[in-house]
Structure 1
Amino acid sequence: MSGSVAWAAADPYATALRTGRGPLFLRRTDGWLLPLEVERWCGRPDPVDLAVLDRCEGAVLDVGCGPGRLVAELAARGRTVLGIDVSDAAVEHTTGLGGPVLRRSVFEALPGEGHWDTVLLMDGNIGIGGDPAALLGRVAGLLRPGGLLIAETAPVDVDERAQVEVVDVTAGPQGRGAPFPWARLGTPALLRRARGAGWRRVAQWSADGRCFAALRTRHASSTAQPPKSTAVISSQRVRKPSGDRPVASR
């Protein structure tokens, strides 16, 4: 089972998003637990989130958007934005907030490839797929030349890949999802990998215990082209989700 499919199938994750609360953890095979901030993800964007959104340029793709707080905020600002996530529960929650969203993995075909101005990898989503090099390469292909990646990194200097599972430690055997590959990178590790892949560092910062890095793709362009299928992804009016199409219509 691929990492994205396993994450989508993790019932504790879906339950937590639908209730808006944890406790929920990522657990490595050695038993180490990483708390997942479900309440924050399901709430309104906090000041740290809003400062990140203020840095976004043009049309924004939120990869692993979760319950959609950032997508909904950008849509409310009138921005062209699309969230993608492999979780049905995440798509449902984002739709309920009025955010345009597509149920899809970042490694599948997406609207506007090569034309997005900004890609977000928030809440540790640099770990998607367990292969940061592959993810950075994919994001570079989604962005326009000179496009902006904003990634939230681990608040410690770490560079690891592991098999993990989503667990609700209060739910017994029923509170475990299927294992999938994941990665954790601190800012130094991300910058090392990014330099080797031709990215250029724009900024790095921390706020309220959270850490971020902003990077640009190798080739800058003097004019940003609008994403393809903009008419499909820029509307604020939503409809019932479909497995193959963005949850938005004109």
Structure 2
Amino acid sequence: MTSGEDPSSRADADPYALALRSGREPVYLRLGDGRRIRMPVHRWFAQPTAADESVLHRCAGPVLDVGCGPGRLCRALLGRGIFALGVDAAPRAVAHTLGLGGIALCRSVFDRLPAEGDWQTALLIDGNIGIGGDPHALLRRCIRLVTATGVLIVEVGPHDVEERCTARFEDIHNHQGPPFPWARLGAPALRRIAEDLALSVTDQWKYGNRCFLTLGRRGSSSGRRC
């Protein structure tokens, strides 16, 4: 997960940077209305879960992992012989990915990226549909990164939600990082946005309390319609 900015560029006391450093430090997403959501830091550093595996076996290479965090998914794909590149705006996240044998760039998805238009799969997992606070702009950018028959695999919230907000990372002592724009979507909201962008939902599934959709260009042969 990444905020779309570099949360670790401030002092090391920043809650997000501390969480990435230890892999165990609790960190929360504090929304503008006061709600606090605990982030699954332990999952970001662990081996892929069964829910993650349901994503990985749908990936055709080459794969671009947007907001890769410590890189568990792109590293797993590389281990299976599928080329995958992680992209994250947080230097500490990229350092973890590289240190564990992955390939990653410290860059925003909105910056110039390698092989634009040639990726077969782009991933927006762990809530990364929220990057930049504008899902329309993010999906428009990501669909331009994949081939004409390429797909986006997107994780959404388990409930019907559609909100844009300003958020901060916060630790258990209520120390907060800098604010950044964020968004939260459920499957119905993602479907509405996909329709606006002339994208088709070609697959949708749940694993436990996690929900995923695959999007492709309308009329492409990128997958089955659900």
Normalised to the residue count of structure 1, the TM-score between the two structures is: 0.83
Q: 2:195 maps to what in 1?
A: 195
Q: 2:94 maps to what in 1?
A: 91
CA–CA distance in structure 1, aligned partners of residues 93 and 201 of structure 2: 30
Amino acid at match of 2:172: V
Deviations 1:25-76 (A, max 9, x none): 1101221101100001111111110121000112100000001100110111
Q: 1:124 maps to what in 2?
A: 127
Counterpart pick for 1:25 among 24, 28, 35: 28
Summarize the Cα distance change of 1:8–1:133 in structure 2 as closer, same or farther, 3 Å threshold. farther
Matches within 5 A, 1:76-225: 76-170=79-173, 172=174, 175-218=175-218, 220=220
For residue 161 of structure 1, give the secondary structure of its aligned residue in structure 2: strand
1:169 shift after superposition: 2.4
- Please report the RMSD computed on the Cα atoms of aligned residues, expressed in angstroms: 1.5
CA–CA distance in structure 2, aligned partners of residues 155 and 130 of structure 1: 19
CA–CA distance in structure 2, aligned partners of residues 148 and 79 of structure 1: 15
Q: 2:44 maps to what in 1?
A: 41
1:219 shift after superposition: 5.5
1:9 shift after superposition: 3.3
Contact 1:25 1:35 in 2 (8 A): yes
CA–CA distance in structure 2, aligned partners of residues 12 and 80 of structure 1: 32
5+ residue gaps, structure 1, are 223-250
Q: 2:77 maps to what in 1?
A: 74
1:220 shift after superposition: 2.9
How many residues are aligned here?
Answer: 217
For residue 172 of structure 2, give the secondary structure of its aligned residue in structure 1: coil
CA–CA distance in structure 2, aligned partners of residues 29 and 6 of structure 1: 19
Amino acid at match of 1:27: R
CA–CA distance in structure 1, aligned partners of residues 5 and 195 of structure 2: 30
5+ residue gaps, structure 2, are none
For residue 150 of structure 1, give the secondary structure of its aligned residue in structure 2: strand
1:90 shift after superposition: 0.3
CA–CA distance in structure 2, aligned partners of residues 63 and 141 of structure 1: 13
Contact 2:7 2:17 in 1 (8 A): no
CA–CA distance in structure 1, aligned partners of residues 8 and 205 of structure 2: 31
4+ aligned runs moved over 4 Å, structure 1: none
State, as a whole percentage, how many aligned pairs show the same letter: 51
Normalised to the residue count of structure 2, the TM-score between the two structures is: 0.92
1:156 shift after superposition: 0.7
Q: 1:14 maps to what in 2?
A: 17
